[in-house]
Structure 1
Amino acid sequence: MASFMRPAAPVLRTSCLALSAPAARNAAFHTTSRTPLAIASTLKPAQIKKRDVAAFHATSRREILPPPPQTIEGTMNDPAPIPPTHPSEGSYHWTFERVIAASLIPLTIAPFAGGSLNPVMDAVFCGTLIMHSHIGFQACIIDYIPARRLPKTKKAFDWLLRGMTLAAAVGLYEFETNDVGVTEAIKRIWKA
């Protein structure tokens, strides 16, 4: 029992000398049962030093991007700006993405189920695959490279995506016209 009260004894002596007995018991209970994180969360930011906060982190603090400018545009009572509507964005864009993704399923199965290796079916499949890939990589660029913070990097990645999409489209066109085609290649690999 004595070892249980030992951690609270210095706290009682230093911080609770002027308190009455019930208040001293309450202060001792709260100081021993609270974690250092809970105690640090009650302090004001000016009271917390870097050495105290560093004890809670396992790795060093490294900034990946420079912090954004600390400015507020307008007042807090201004409504959020509504972007202008555009047919290729918003719900139309989302619907187009879902239609492209869903159409890949029958386009992948149809040549093998029907037994027909039609070059038109291959061309439609390749075009849909190119659009699906472009939309997916474009969504990654939009999500992970913010235009407000990195406008030049975003523009560079957008042009890189366009170039890679064009290169993939030219490669698939060459494979379709000068070689056996995607469906026949998959069929040969499957039976090999």
Structure 2
Amino acid sequence: MASIMRPSLLRQSQTASQRVYSTFARQPSPLTQHLRPAFAPVPSTRIAAFHATQRQAILPALPQKITGTLNEPTVVPDPTPAHGSYHWSFERLVSAGLIPLTVAPFAAGSLNPVMDATLCALLVVHSHIGFEACIIDYFPKRRVPNLYKASMWALRLGTITLGVALYSFETNDIGVTELIAKLWNA
């Protein structure tokens, strides 16, 4: 039974039935038989086993907008330090700072609330920067300005909500590192 389900057997049976049907349905003309070399195979359609859908585009293209004419120069934005190398350096500093802050409370054995609060703040900043980069990449301000603006406001709201929730968890409950330590030992 399992040998029947092999894709190669399904293809062979399908092409064999097509050959039988094609011999009865249409006979090639003598001219095409004469022009085709004897070693050339009979053209047949390729069959993929277990595929029921056609190939379709994943997403439609975003709306296109052309500004200016061919002879106008491209507008170059003014350079700002917030979007240049300082921004990149700040991202790397936050990412590198997370490594010792995640290991230190458990390696040293002390659960300090200041270290816990610093870890939570850096996690919030790190996630905000990452999601902001995704929004900038996938929803360009120039092409979809309304979706870009809505996404940025949703990100800001989510970041503030996460910050308030972590602050409340740090001050009114056991804190993130203590929770991880208890879960680890459970």
- Name structure 1 gaps, 5 residues minimum: 9-57
The Cα offsets for residues 118-157 of structure 1, whole Å up to 9 and x where unpaired, read as 1000000000000000000000000000111110110000
| TM-score, structure 1 normalization | 0.65
Alignment match of 1:165 (pick from 159, 171, 175): 159
Aligned length: 141
Deviation, 1:114, is: 1.0
1:59 is aligned to 2:88 = no
| Aligned twin of 2:48 | none
Q: Which residue of 1 aligns with 2:11?
A: none
Higher relative contact order (CA 8 A, sep 6+): 2
Answer yes or no: is 1:128 the counterpart of 2:150.
Answer: no
Q: Aligned AA for 2:64?
A: P
Does the residue aligned with 2:83 lie in a helix, a strand or coil? coil
Number of the residue aligned with 1:6: 35
**Residue 148 of structure 2 aligns to which amino acid in structure 1?**
K
User: Structure 1 161/62 Cα, relative in aligned 2: closer, same or farther at 3 Å?
Assistant: closer
Residue 63 of structure 2 contacts residue 143 of structure 2 at CA under 8 Å; is this kept in 1? Answer: no
- Structure 2 gaps, min length 5: 1-31, 38-53
Correspondence 1:179 to 2:179: no
Question: TM-score, with normalisation over the residues of structure 2?
Answer: 0.67
Name the counterpart of 1:73: 68
Q: CA RMSD in A?
A: 2.6
Give the direction of change, closer, same or farther, for the CA distance of 1:5–1:131 in structure 2 (3 Å limit): farther
Aligned identity (percent) is: 50
Q: Deviations over 1:35-74 (max 9, x none)?
A: xxxxxxxxxxxxxxxxxxxxxxx535687245413x3524
Q: Which amino acid aligns with 2:60?
A: I
2-structure distance, mates of 1:186, 1:104: 16
